[in-house]
């Protein structure tokens, strides 16, 4: 496994492979890797000849500087995990490499559609501009044929697909299933911040989603939302930001059971940690 910190070094390594028509996959991450990330690497290996994993804690997507500061960065552990997973290249650029004028912001604003401002977009203003800005830079650096993202950040995958359409990039975007702990908690780099008490309380999120999924064909969406929100609001230490049943294309709330790609999405603060989760319903 080769580790590089600069775009030019990465491109020197990749270009002979790309000239020889090897299919290159990119798995962009912010590190603090867990089994969810490893599942992306495994899936990528099935689709491509070469897998590049990027590790970069992207400052432009954080709306809260404290959140950026406390984002976990266990680099040695991450590298060991990627090595064991058989990843071919790790790209770990510095902030200056990706944003040469940092901390002066670069001009970046693209139209990601109305869904940018819903759900996470409402709670983390500008978040998806930052995410798509760095993903575009990573795509330009790696020039992958295909890229893999976790479905846990469902709205993020939608925004990245919209960014790829915006620039007409010939890159396939694949959304990969959420990996859960045995008790249902969605794996996340942020789980490390949960106290034992928070960890138990956090289970209500996947339980509420599972309740909605199990009863989707039996109850109206209003009844499902009522019960799911009650479950969460009755749990001490959990502060709900949103729980919605939405059209997976527009992220607009829907009561129409016929809509294909319906999804339940939740975000809540558990103790001091903000978690998101979702479940496809049909
Ligand atoms: O999902 C993440 O880890 C990040 O948002 C991403 C896609 C790597 C961009 O920084």
Give SS3 for 99.
coil
Taking residues 144-156, what's their average pLDDT?
98
Instruction: For ligand 1, atom 9, name the residue with the nearest CA.
Output: 131
Mean pLDDT in the chain? 97
pLDDT on residue 79: 98
Q: Which of the four pLDDT bands, split at 50, 70 and 90, describes residue 15?
A: very high
Which token pair is 34? 């867990």
pLDDT on residue 213: 98
Specify the DSSP element, H or E, that contains 34: none
Instruction: For ligand 1, atom 1, name the residue with the nearest CA.
Output: 29
Among 129, 131, 141, 275, which is best to mutate for testing ligand 1, by the most ligand atoms less than 8 A from CB? 131
Model confidence, pTM: 0.97
Active site residue 34: no
- Is cis: bond before 44, omega within 30 of 0? no
In tens, the pLDDT along 19-44 reads 999 999 999 999 999 999 999 999 99
Does residue 159 contact residue 115 with C-beta atoms inside 8 Å?
Answer: yes
Does residue 25 contact residue 51 with C-beta atoms inside 8 Å?
Answer: yes
- How many A from CA of 199 to the centre of ligand 1? 23
Q: What are phi and psi of 230, to 5 degrees?
A: -60, -45
Return the ligand 1 atom nearest residue 61 CA. Answer: 10
Q: What are phi and psi of 260, to 5 degrees?
A: -75, 155
Q: Which domains does the chain have, with CATH numbers?
A: 2-176 (3.40.50.620), 189-280 (3.30.1300.10)
In tens, the pLDDT along 229-269 reads 999 999 999 999 999 999 999 999 999 999 889 999 999 99
- How many A from CA of 30 to the centre of ligand 1? 6
Taking residues 119-134, what's their average pLDDT?
97
In tens, the pLDDT along 61-107 reads 999 999 999 999 999 999 999 999 999 999 999 999 999 999 999 99
In tens, the pLDDT along 105-122 reads 999 999 999 999 999 999
- Looking at 153-219, which runs of residues are DSSP E strands? 172-176
Return the ligand 1 atom nearest residue 28 CA. Answer: 8
pLDDT on residue 116: 98
The pLDDT > 70 percentage for the chain reads 100
- How many A from CA of 56 to the centre of ligand 1? 8
pLDDT on residue 61: 98
Give SS3 for 52.
strand
Nearest Cα neighbor of 162 from 117, 105, 124, 123 is 117
Q: Which residues line ligand 1 (CB under 6 A)?
A: 28-30, 58, 61, 131, 134-135, 153, 156
Which token pair is 24? 């290159």
């Amino acid at each position: 496994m080769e580790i590089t910190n600069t775009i030019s070094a990465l491109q020197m390594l990749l270009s002979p492979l790309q000239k020889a028509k090897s299919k290159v996959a990119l798995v962009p991450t912010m590190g603090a890797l867990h089994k969810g990330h490893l599942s992306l690497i495994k899936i990528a290996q099935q689709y491509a000849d070469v897998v590049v994993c990027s590790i970069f804690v992207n400052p432009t997507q954080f709306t809260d500087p404290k959140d950026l500061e406390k984002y976990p960065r266990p680099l040695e552990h991450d590298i060991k995990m990627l090595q064991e997973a058989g990843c071919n290249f790790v790209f770990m650029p510095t902030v200056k490499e990706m944003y040469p004028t940092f901390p002066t912001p670069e001009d970046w604003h693209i139209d990601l559609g109305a869904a940018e401002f819903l759900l996470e977009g409402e709670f983390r203003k500008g978040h998806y501009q930052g995410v798509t800005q760095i993903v575009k830079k990573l795509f330009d650096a790696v020039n992958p044929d295909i890229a893999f993202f976790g479905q846990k950040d469902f709205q993020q995958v939608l925004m990245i697909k919209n960014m790829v359409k915006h620039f007409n990039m010939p890159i396939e975007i694949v959304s990969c299933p959420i990996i859960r702990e045995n008790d249902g908690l969605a794996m996340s780099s942020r789980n490390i911040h949960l106290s034992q008490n928070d960890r138990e309380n956090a289970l209500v999120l996947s339980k509420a989603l599972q309740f909605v999924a199990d009863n989707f064909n039996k109850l109206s969406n209003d009844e499902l939302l009522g019960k799911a929100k009650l479950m969460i609001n009755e749990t001490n230490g959990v502060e709900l930001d949103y729980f919605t049943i939405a059209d997976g294309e527009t992220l607009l709330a829907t009561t129409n059971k016929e809509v294909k790609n319906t999804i339940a999405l939740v975000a809540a603060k558990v103790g001091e940690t903000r978690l998101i989760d979702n479940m496809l319903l049909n």
